[in-house]
Each structure stands twice: as C-alpha cells, then as structure tokens.
C-alpha cells in the first residue's frame, strides 16, 4: 500500500464535505427513520457493487492511489452516495416530480452522475482498469428507479406506523 | 457444481428465514440485513484486499459463491439470530442462542475455507470466533437503536 495525501484525497474530502453541507439543511424534511433506511441502503449498495467490480476476478477500477480497500473509498461510501441520494429524493418529493416528470428527472440525474464520474476519473479519484464511462449509463437510471421505489415503500410503512399516533 | 451447492445453501437459508415467525418490523429487517451485509463485506474486503489474510481465488465460481454469501447467507443468518433473540425470554436462552450462532457462523467460515471459496492464509481460528463474538452484539445494538428511532420517532413529516 502506497497512500500519498495529495490532490485526489483532497478531492474526496471537498466533494464529500459539499454533499454533507447540502444534505444538512434538508435532512429535517424526512423523518430520522427514513434517513437511516436510505443511508443504509446506499451504503450497502455501493459497497457491494464496488467490492464486486474492484476485487477478483474483474478488477475493473479502483479508488484512490492503490487497488486496495482505501479509507478514501470508504469515506465516499459513507458520506457521498447516501447524501446525494437524500438530495435526489428531496427534490423528487418536494417538487412532486411524479409520473412522467420522473423520467425527465432521472435522465437529468443520470447526466449529472455521468459528468461527476468523469470528473472523478479526471481527478484520479476513480481509476479505470477495464471499466468504461458508458457502462455506467445503465447503472444510474436503474439505481434511481430502485431508490424511488424504496422511498415510496418506506414512506408507506412509516405512514402505517404513524397512523395509530394520529388517531384521537 | 460448487456454485450450485452454494446457491442451494443460500436458497435454503432464505427459505428458513421466510418461514421464521416475524418478530421484527419489515424496515427493521431491511436495515439489519444491510448492516450485517456491510459489516461482513468490510471484514472480507479488508482481509482480502489489504491484509491478504483471506484469499478469494481468481475464478468466477468462488467469486460468485462468496458474493452470494456476503449479500444473502451471512446477513440472513444474522437477521434470523436477531429474530430468534427477540423471542427468547430468559438471559440463559439468549446466551445459548448467541453461542449457537457463533459456532454456526464460524463453522460456515470453516466450510468456505474447505470448499476453497474463501481461503484463510496465515489465519488463527480464534480470529473467526472473535469476529462473530463482536459482530452479533454490535448488530443487537444497531437493532435496538433503530427500534427506538422507528417506534418512538415522529414519522408524520
């Protein structure tokens, strides 16, 4: 392992901090239970996908300076993706981007996610060793649709729990 | 053949899980499943990619079998442990369940080594036992914390 604290580590910290700063004021829009569910789902999803593609036998990409499990990668898993998912759901629910609007919204987020992934590659945060940027085109919309489905499912379950409390 | 056996084992555990009487809320099950999977994947990734004390052979079959194990077999067994724990009334029974699951999960880890999907290199047997001794109470704490958030929190927002 040869970890140097250089620009890519700063990039990890700055982008994760920006995501966290945007997340903090909007977190109260959701209940704490919803935040935990969304956070845990994203954490395990990205950890699973990354471990699957980074490790044997695929070796398609790696985070940071070495093809090992780096703290910077874990930092991204823990803060970046869950915060971005909460922001995604906040805009979706606050502005009621339901029905046909969802398609346009998912397309916009896919474009933004691809641009952000490209930025990560340019800043050597993400190093491709077989992966291509266009492979991700299928991943982002799928992840967004599953996230919306999970959000609606969780909202329904939490509503069921809240109903007895609302009864007089 | 090896992959098929592991698919069968994962399916059997999933079947047992679905047949176990539910003592947890659906959201609790999901959160505990994800937490268990995250803990196990981190243990596997750190030992495999950094410390090199675990080796996953560079072939599709062991890789796929281990992938299934870390998203289904081990997390589901840990959730079954939590479900059964909630049904136990006395401390002695809870402790017996805890010991039983440490032995079961350690035996599965040993089976992974023997079958060649997760080879332990320069490994001490007590490390496996220590992993489960720590992980299971950690999951109990996570479950209890989420219970407080879920059942005492305000979900009208």
Q: Report the residue from A67, A68, A154 with minimal CB separation from B27.
A: A154
For B46, what's the count of Cα atoms within 13 Å in the CB-facing half-sphere?
9
The pLDDT tens digits for B46-61 are 999 888 899 999 888 8
Q: ipTM, 2 decimals? A: 0.90
B135 Cβ contact partners less than 8 Å away, ≥ 6 residues apart? B36, B39, B40, B43, B78
Closest CA to B54 of B126, B122, B110: B122
Residue A165: the pLDDT is 63
Nearest CB to B146 within list A36, A41, A47: A36
Instruction: State whether A56 and B57 contact (CB < 8 Å).
Output: yes
- Measure the CA–CA gap between B62 and A56, rounded to whole angstroms: 10
Rounded distance between C-alpha atoms, residue A91 and residue B49, angstroms: 37
**Can you name the residues that pair with A61 across neighbouring β-strands?**
A128
In Å, what is the CA distance from A8 to each residue of A42, A53, A67, A78? 23, 21, 14, 17
Decide if B76 contacts B17 (C-beta within 8 A): yes
SS (H, E, C) B113-155: HHHCCCEECCCCHHHHHHHHHHHHHHHHHHHHHHHHHHHHCCC
Chain B residue closest in CA terms to A151: B27
pLDDT of A167: 53
Domain coordinates of chain B in residue numbers? 33-150
Q: Give CA torsion, residues B58, B62, B64, B67, to 10 deg.
A: -100
Tens-binned pLDDT, residue by residue, of chain A (168 aa): 556 778 888 888 899 999 999 999 999 999 999 999 999 999 999 999 999 888 877 889 988 888 787 777 888 888 999 999 999 999 999 999 999 999 999 999 999 999 999 999 999 888 999 999 999 999 999 999 999 999 999 999 999 887 766 554
């Amino acid at each position: 392992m040869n970890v140097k604290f250089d620009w890519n580590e700063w990039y990890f910290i700055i982008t994760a901090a920006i995501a966290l700063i945007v997340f903090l004021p909007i977190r109260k829009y959701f209940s704490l239970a919803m935040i935990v569910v969304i956070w845990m789902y994203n954490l395990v999803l990205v950890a699973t996908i990354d471990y699957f593609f980074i490790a044997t036998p695929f070796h398609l990409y790696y985070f940071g300076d070495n093809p090992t499990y780096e703290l910077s990668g874990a930092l991204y898993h823990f803060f970046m993706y869950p915060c971005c998912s909460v922001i995604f759901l906040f805009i979706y629910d606050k502005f009621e981007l339901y029905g046909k609007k969802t398609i346009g919204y998912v397309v916009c987020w896919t474009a933004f996610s691809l641009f952000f992934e490209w930025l990560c590659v340019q800043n050597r945060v993400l190093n491709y060793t077989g992966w291509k940027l266009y492979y991700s085109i299928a991943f982002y919309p799928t992840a967004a649709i599953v996230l919306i489905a999970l959000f609606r499912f969780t909202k329904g379950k939490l509503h069921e729990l809240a109903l007895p409390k609302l009864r007089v | 053949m090896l992959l098929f056996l592991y698919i069968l084992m994962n399916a059997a555990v999933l079947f047992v899980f679905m047949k176990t009487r539910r003592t947890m809320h659906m959201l609790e099950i999901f959160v505990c499943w994800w937490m268990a999977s995250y803990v196990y994947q981190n243990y596997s990734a750190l030992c495999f990619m950094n410390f090199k004390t675990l080796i996953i052979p560079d072939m599709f079959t062991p890789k796929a079998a281990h992938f299934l194990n870390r998203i289904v077999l081990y997390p589901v067994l840990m959730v079954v442990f939590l479900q059964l724990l909630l049904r136990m009334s006395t401390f002695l029974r809870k402790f017996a369940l805890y010991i039983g699951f440490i032995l079961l999960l350690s035996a599965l880890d040993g089976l992974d080594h023997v079958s060649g999907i997760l080879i332990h290199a320069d490994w001490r047997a007590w490390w496996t036992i220590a992993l489960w001794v720590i992980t299971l109470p950690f999951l109990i704490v996570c479950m209890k914390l989420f219970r407080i958030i879920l059942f005492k929190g305000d979900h009208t927002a």
